[in-house]
Structure 1
């Protein structure tokens, strides 16, 4: 049996602004995952520089940091069997227009014509990324 994993889930500023935090968390919990930490905050530039360190210098970096600091973000640590893969499947493609119906982005997202894709949620993409990201957002865990 696969071991229990943890992942970082972020409801991005567009999701918070649109009042979708509860719907995202409902889908996470309905899937059977446990929310083990939860916090709403406006992300600082320092925190975002740590989170997006691998993207520094790329053309989309500054617009991404600007978007992610444009309003409150809800950060959650979610736990369960294969939760990293499971949440990414639940979230759907990073491109909301192509995300299948039934996914968070497929049901709730769309292209807004902005310079950075506003796609509602973030989920860690690997065990290593999850550990690094959880350490940035929830250093006490």
Structure 2
């Protein structure tokens, strides 16, 4: 990983998996020029769901989040690239699909706030916190599950000083 690259966590939620959107979502990130460095098809258990959504514990919608994310399989991924957190978030769209423009994943596939197809790590809010992308990657992946590899097309995606 170059010093300009960062990694971010993305998860196709149970509704996206059930609707057969995994392949299209993966191809969107690949076409953007991001590099897939980890992926797994998995069932989220209650403990992982509580850890993942821990910042929402005590809020009225918390139990619904846990129930939904554990209701079916998900496709968890780690993507790498320059400014990956911000790049991915712009591709995903707003949490509420109604606020997401066409061309974003949620704008194209989501209709409901609770079933919005995809999760992506948020940008860091507080400099003293562990960045959300690093925290979420650590929850879903062990370091040895992530593959460090060279993307041959990087020279065609980034200006020389960017990679």
Corresponding residue number in structure 1 for 2:105: 104
CA distance in 2: counterparts of 1:98 and 1:125, whole angstroms:
17
CA distance in 1: counterparts of 2:57 and 2:118, whole angstroms:
20
Q: How far apart are 1:126 and its partner, in Å? A: 2.5
Determine whether 1:38 maps to 2:35.
Answer: no
**Hey, which bits of structure 1, 4+ residues long, moved more than 6 A?**
none
1:7 partner SS: strand
List aligned pairs for 1:1-141, cutoff 5 A: 3-111=4-112, 117-126=114-123, 128-141=131-144
Q: How far apart are 1:140 and its partner, in Å? A: 3.0
CA distance in 2: counterparts of 1:67 and 1:14, whole angstroms:
9
What TM-score do you get using the length of structure 1 for normalisation? Answer: 0.92
How big is the alpha-carbon RMSD for the aligned residues of Structure 1 and Structure 2?
1.5
Indicate the structure (1 or 2) with the bigger Cα radius of gyration. 2
In the alignment of these two chains, the number of paired residues is 137
1:97 partner SS: helix
Structure 1 unaligned runs (5+)?
Answer: none
Structure 2 unaligned runs (5+)?
Answer: 125-130, 145-163
Q: How far apart are 1:109 and its partner, in Å? A: 1.1
Q: How far apart are 1:50 and its partner, in Å? A: 0.9
